[in-house]
A and B are shown apart, each in its own frame.
Chain A
Amino acid sequence: KAGVTQTPRYLIKTRGQQVTLSCSPISGHRSVSWYQQTPGQGLQFLFEYFSETQRNKGNFPGRFSGRQFSNSRSEMNVSTLELGDSALYLCASSPGTSAAAQYFGPGTRLTVT
Chain B
Amino acid sequence: AQSVTQLDSQVPVFEEAPVELRCNYSSSVSVYLFWYVQYPNQGLQLLLKYLSGSTLVKGINGFEAEFNKSQTSFHLRKPSVHISDTAEYFCAVSEARGYSTLTFGKGTMLLVSP
Residues from chain A with Cβ under 8 Å of B103 in the complex: 45
The one of B41, B98, B102, B107 that contacts A102, using a Cβ cutoff of 8 Å: B102
* A4 CB within 8 Å of chain B: yes
The one of A48, A99, A105 that contacts B101, using a Cβ cutoff of 8 Å: A48
Q: B88 → chain A, closest Cβ, in Å? A: 10
Please determine whether B101 and A104 come into contact, CB atoms closer than 8 angstroms: no
Question: For chain A, what secondary structure do more than half of its interface residues adopt (helix, strand, loop), or is it mixed?
Answer: strand
Q: Interface segment, A11-19, A62-70, A79-87, A90-98?
A: A90-98
* A25 CB within 8 Å of chain B: no
* B72 CB within 8 Å of chain A: no
Number of interface residues of B (CB under 8 A): 24
Please determine whether B46 and A96 come into contact, CB atoms closer than 8 angstroms: no
A97–B103 Cα gap in the complex (Å)?
17
Please determine whether A98 and B43 come into contact, CB atoms closer than 8 angstroms: no
The one of A98, A100, A104 that contacts B45, using a Cβ cutoff of 8 Å: A104
Residues from chain B with Cβ under 8 Å of A42 in the complex: 104-107
Q: B89 → chain A, closest Cβ, in Å? A: 12
* B83 CB within 8 Å of chain A: no
Please determine whether B101 and A56 come into contact, CB atoms closer than 8 angstroms: yes
Q: B103 → chain A, closest Cβ, in Å? A: 7
Please determine whether A33 and B101 come into contact, CB atoms closer than 8 angstroms: yes
A30–B74 Cα gap in the complex (Å)?
29
Q: B20 → chain A, closest Cβ, in Å? A: 21
Q: A44 → chain B, closest Cβ, in Å? A: 8
Residues from chain B with Cβ under 8 Å of A58 in the complex: 101
Residues from chain B with Cβ under 8 Å of A35 in the complex: 104
Q: B-contacting residues of A (Cβ < 8 Å)? A: 4, 6, 31, 33, 35, 42-43, 45, 48, 50, 55-56, 58, 90, 92, 96-107
Instruction: Pull 25 A–B residue pairs with CB atoms less than 8 Å apart, ordered by A.
Output: A4-B43, A33-B102, A42-B105, A43-B104, A43-B107, A45-B103, A48-B101, A55-B99, A56-B101, A90-B43, A92-B44, A96-B99, A97-B99, A98-B96, A98-B97, A98-B99, A98-B100, A99-B51, A99-B96, A101-B34, A102-B102, A104-B43, A104-B44, A106-B43, A107-B43
